[in-house]
Amino acid sequence: MRKYVFIFKSEVMSSLQYIWNILFGFLGYLVILFIFFQLWQYLYSDPSQVIHGYTMEEMVWYVIVTEVLWSSLGGRKLCMKISNDVKSGNIAYNLCKPYSYIGYALSSHLGSILLKFIIYVILGMSLGLLFLGSFPSISILSILVVLLSSILATIISTLLITFIGLFAFKIEDANPFYWLYSKFILVLGTIFPVEFFPQVIRPILQYSPIFAVTYGPAKLFVHFTLENAIEVLCIQGIYLVISYLLCLWLYKKGVKNLNVNGG
Amino acid sequence: MLTAVKNQGKISILSIKYALMKEMLNKTTFLTNVIFMILNNASFIIQWIVLYSIQDNIGGYTFQQVLLLWGVAAGSYGVSHFFFENAYELAETITDGKLDAYIVQPKNILLSAITSKVKTSALGDLLYAYIMCVVVARSFSSILLFTFLIICGGIILTGIAVILGSLSFWFKRADMVAEAGNGWMTNFANYPDGIFKGVVKVLLYTLIPVGIVNYIPVQLLTHFRLSNLGIVVGFASVIILLAFIVFYRGLKRYSSSNLMSMRI
Domain boundaries, chain A: 2-256
Tell me what pLDDT residue B224 has: 92
Which residues in chain B are closer than 8 Å to A196, comparing Cβ atoms? 50
In a domain, B132, yes or no: yes
Please give the interface size between A and B, counted as residue pairs whose CB atoms are below 8 Å apart. Answer: 85
- Across the interface, whether the CB atoms of A171 and B176 are under 8 A apart is answered no
Contact criterion met (CB < 8 Å) for B33 and A39 = no
Give the 3-state DSSP-derived string for A161-226, with helices as H, strands as E and coil as C.
HHHHHHHHHCCCCCHHHHHHHHHHHHHHHHCCCHHHCCCCCHHHHHCCHHHHHHHHHHHHHHCCCH
- Asked if A39 and A133 touch (Cβ cutoff 8 Å), the reply is no
* Sign for the pseudo-dihedral over CA of B196, B197, B202, B203: negative
| A214 or A23, greater pLDDT | A214
Rounded-to-5 percentages of helix, strand, coil across chain B: 75, 0, 25
Domain extent for B21 = 2-251
B188 in A contact zone (CB under 8 Å): yes
Q: Do B200 and A31 touch (CB under 8 A)?
A: no
Average pLDDT over residues B32-53: 90
CB contact under 8 A, B187 and A192: no
| Nearest by Cα to A210 from A195, A199, A227 | A195
Report the range of poorest mean pLDDT among A204-213, B21-30, B202-211.
Answer: B21-30
In a domain, B117, yes or no: yes
Average pLDDT over chain B, rounded to whole?
89
Q: What is the mean pLDDT of chain A?
A: 88
Residue B28, phi then psi, degrees to nearest 5: -60, -45
Please report the beta strands in A32-179, taking only residues with DSSP state E, as ranges in sequence order. Answer: none
Q: In chain B, what residues touch A191 (CB-CB under 8 Å)?
A: 47
Tens of pLDDT, residues B202-237: 999 998 999 999 999 999 999 999 999 999 999 999
Number of domain units in chain B? 1
- The DSSP letter of residue B206 is T
Q: How far apart are CA A216 and CA A223, in angstroms?
A: 10
Higher pLDDT, B78 or A260: B78
Q: Does residue B78 lie in a domain region? A: yes
Nearest-Cα residue of chain A relative to residue B46: A187
Chain B, nearest residue to A187 by Cα: B47
Reported confidence tier of residue B6, pLDDT bands at 50, 70, 90: confident
- Shortest Cα–Cα distance, B173 to chain A (Å): 9
- Residues of chain B with C-beta less than 8 angstroms from the C-beta of A41: 195
pLDDT of A263 over the 60 cut:
no
All residues of chain A having their beta carbon less than 8 Å from the beta carbon of residue B176 are 20-21, 24
Specify if B258 maps to a domain: no
CB contact under 8 A, B43 and A183: yes
C-beta neighbour count of B110 within 10 angstroms: 21
Question: How far is residue A115 from each of residues A19, A41, A103, A109, B1, measured CA to CA in Å?
Answer: 8, 31, 20, 11, 55
The answer as to whether B224 is a domain residue is yes
Residue B261 lies in a domain: no
